[in-house]
Amino acid sequence: MTSATQTPTDRYPAGSAAFPHRDLTGLAGLAPWEILFLLDEAEQWVDLNRAAQKRDDRLAGLTIINAFFENSTRTLLSFEIAGKRLGADVVNMLVAQSSVKKGETLIDTAMTLNAMHADAMVIRHQSSGAVRLIAEKVDCPVLNAGDGQHEHPTQGLLDALTIRKFMQGRGGGGGDFAGLTVTICGDILHSRVARSNIHCLTTLGAEVRVCAPPALMPADIDALKVQPFHDFDAALKGADVVMMLRLQQERMSGQFIASPGEYRHLYGLSLDRLALAEPDALVMHPGPMNRGIEIDSNVADLAGRSAITTQVEMGVAIRMACLDVLTRKTRGVEGWA
């Protein structure tokens, strides 16, 4: 992988400076340099977001539509802030206020949004594959803000950026993912966050372990380059990063766990359990958290170890990078048109 002495451009193949995709619907299939390119692009926005004046007008005159067919707090706000900090006109379409409730088909909604000449669309939908379907019908770049159980690519990217920031902050050189062990624990079956993180982190060379009760482990887990565990204590040994996931009750039809108490006993992250991981292991959670179920409060708030608020911070920077990069062609940026 990369070393601390390499400049960002050294690690992109010659002639490949332009990100070669119109849309960002998933991280599966992206090359390592494409992921690193987006992470590197986000660094400037981390700095801008920490400054008093948080404004860059490169997207001035562009319209971004955030079409959210499923509820969201942090992802919607994060995309809205990202678009506005880059000077774009940002419009939110929330399903409760839309014609979807009146029976309009997904494609008709997409065609309506397309006719309004958006320059980018950010879409969250409860069905896996819905965002790709819309991307095939519209003329502008489409960013997936989470589709069913499939992918949540900006979450995968922001998690990778968070890990890299912490590793660099601790003197970990250029932020190399090779040699890093990441344990993802919880409702893997229903989690698009898990899937995007698995694609992202394995592509970057990390060792990924997934841990879940048998009923919440995907049947096709062997097709992904991960080590599956049902025993959380075993999955924690030697972990550099522990990523906890929420039980996605809204996607469950039937009983997947015996009781919240038993789930916490077997799969909850307590301080005692965290001690089984590496001494300085990083704790992550995409939110929303169920404190006292998958993660104890004193772990979620553990200073120096919990990266949960940094994940939110990196989310805005990553979304700014994605919006900037995917609209370069439209804006006629040299080398991108």
User: Which residues are at the interface with ligand NCD (CB under 6 A)?
Assistant: 74-75, 146, 152, 155, 192-193, 246, 248, 286-287
Closer Cβ to ligand NCD, 164 or 285, answer by number = 285
Closer Cβ to ligand NCD, 62 or 76, answer by number = 76
Q: Token pair 């309004």 is at which residue?
A: 116
Provide, rounded to whole angstroms, the least separation between the CB of residue 250 and ligand NCD.
Answer: 8
CB contact set of 251 (below 8 Å; sequence gap of 6+): 148, 149, 190
Give CA–CA dist 295/283, Å, rounded. Answer: 10
Give CA–CA dist 318/81, Å, rounded. Answer: 12
Provide, rounded to whole angstroms, the least separation between the CB of residue 237 and ligand NCD.
Answer: 26
Nearest one of 28, 41, 12 to 328, comparing CA atoms = 41
Provide, rounded to whole angstroms, the least separation between the CB of residue 53 and ligand NCD.
Answer: 27
> Which pairing describes strands 142-147 and 207-211: parallel, antiparallel, or unpaired?
unpaired
Provide, rounded to whole angstroms, the least separation between the CB of residue 9 and ligand NCD.
Answer: 31
| Cα dihedral sign, 268-273-277-280 | positive
Peptide bond into 153 cis (omega under 30): no
Closer Cβ to ligand NCD, 62 or 131, answer by number = 131
For 93, list phi and psi in degrees, rounded to 5.
-110, 110
Closer Cβ to ligand NCD, 228 or 287, answer by number = 287
Closer Cβ to ligand NCD, 74 or 230, answer by number = 74
Provide, rounded to whole angstroms, the least separation between the CB of residue 190 and ligand NCD.
Answer: 9
